[in-house]
Amino acid sequence: MILTELYRLFGVHESVARLAASAVTVLTAAMTYVLAREQFDSRTALFATLTIALAPLTLVYGRMYNHEVFALFWVVTSTWAYLRWTKTRTPRDLARLGVCVFLAALTAWPGYYLVVLLPLHHRVAFPQSRDGRTLTRMLIGIALAAFGIYIAHGYWLKGSTLFVELKNACERGWFYDRVDWGDTFTMRDFIRTELQRSVTWFTAPVVVLAAVGVGCAVGQMILQRRVDAAHGAILMLLLFGDSHLPLFKQETMGHEYYLYYLLPGVALAAGLAMREMSAAHVAVPWRVGTLSTIIVAFVVASVATTLPVDRARTPDREFYRELGLWMKDNTAFTDHVLLNFHVEGPFLMYYADRDVVESVSSLTRVRAERRPNTVLVMRLGLTPHLERAVLRRYGATTVTSDGELVSIARVSPRRDDRNISVNAR
């Protein structure tokens, strides 16, 4: 919705989408600072903000045009609003929390996790409070309202195919052990892959610091013999990010940025560890030297991860950008699009939230995936047998994207469907 309004005001440009995502990423870092400062102190807040701002995951994906960036902002803001309400218990702060959770749920599925995690945190951190039922009822009502809006809007745009898509999405969750364009994987493979990715995208120093921070939080709660709100919030945010991975196993194995929701929990845990180290009873030169070494190692590792990724993604950027823009201008929102290749970011910017199936490489797969309004987009030369069969059966139009030929055809169940008409530039 945010991008839609920005496009309406300034036109559909990559710079508009990147600016919106980057601005929200900065706001997320700022809210992380506010949250950490209110729950701990300014030193923890500074270290946590440094972590979330300079992590490779943020530098690479914090300017992407997908919903993760926007949803994470509302999740962090919801956590801040919730912890503020636990201190004031005023209707105004409860209403603020409700608005934040509603926007989080309306932005992306992980927003609904808060409906479970916030009451759970309240239950263990404030066992004597009588406001738990009020909080739970409000969050359930908000979740039902947000989901109702989603269903109504989706049905208005796509009709009954929306429910087929929801069914397919559920089937590719916890019980799905195969990536669409790859082999099957075991739970052990899944855990090993995500741990390796965590070391890459958070950097090894931050992963170690986060582990130390979690140990500090748990140790503090054991000493107090109770779960306090601040340390419990760190565990809650880590559980929030961890929950998203197994619930969407198939997508998680295919996309590294599904770790994005772990950012605030990891940053707060690492910030807590850095604060404990800065307060250690050792000579000042040792403290300063240790902290400086860790920060430098973190920055170096972050740069070493980020730069190669940007360079590797540069060659096809213009192709995806031009193709995405062409699809936006020449297809309807309700068209079901099949691609014989794996798509990248600039295409998604112009074609975000459309119904797209990637890496379709055979006529059998086309027949299985096609619907009344189906468009097949093929990079020529990738799947020659499919290209010949489609050209013979349905006909196709050839367009140019960044100097590369792309074949586009209507492949709906009726063989007499008319081909896409396009004014080739």
DSSP state for residue 403 in the 8-state scheme: T
Q: Report which residue type is found at 2.
A: I
Bridge partners (DSSP) of residue 410 are 375
Mean pLDDT value of segment 129-149: 94
3-state secondary structure 349-397: HHHCCCEEECCCCCHHHHHHHCCCCEEEEEECCCCHHHHHHHHHHCCCE
Q: How confident is the model at residue 254 (pLDDT cuts 50, 70, 90)?
A: confident
Q: What does the alpha-carbon distance between residue 82 and residue 54 come to, in Å, rounded to a whole number? A: 26
pLDDT digits (tens, 9 = 90+) for 398-407: 888 878 889 9
Closest CA to 216 of 340, 387, 348, 40: 40
Buried b / exposed e over 338-365, threshold 16 CB at 10 Å, is bbbbebebbbbbbbbebbbbebbeebeb
Locus of tokens 């960036």: 69
Locus of tokens 């636990």: 86
Residue 351 pLDDT: 58
Q: Report which residue type is found at 109.
A: W
pLDDT at 425 over 50: no
pLDDT digits (tens, 9 = 90+) for 43-52: 999 999 999 9
Q: What does the alpha-carbon distance between residue 359 and residue 342 come to, in Å, rounded to a whole number? A: 6
Q: Which residues are CB-contacts of 219 (< 8 A; sequence separation ≥ 6)?
A: none
Residue 423 pLDDT: 37
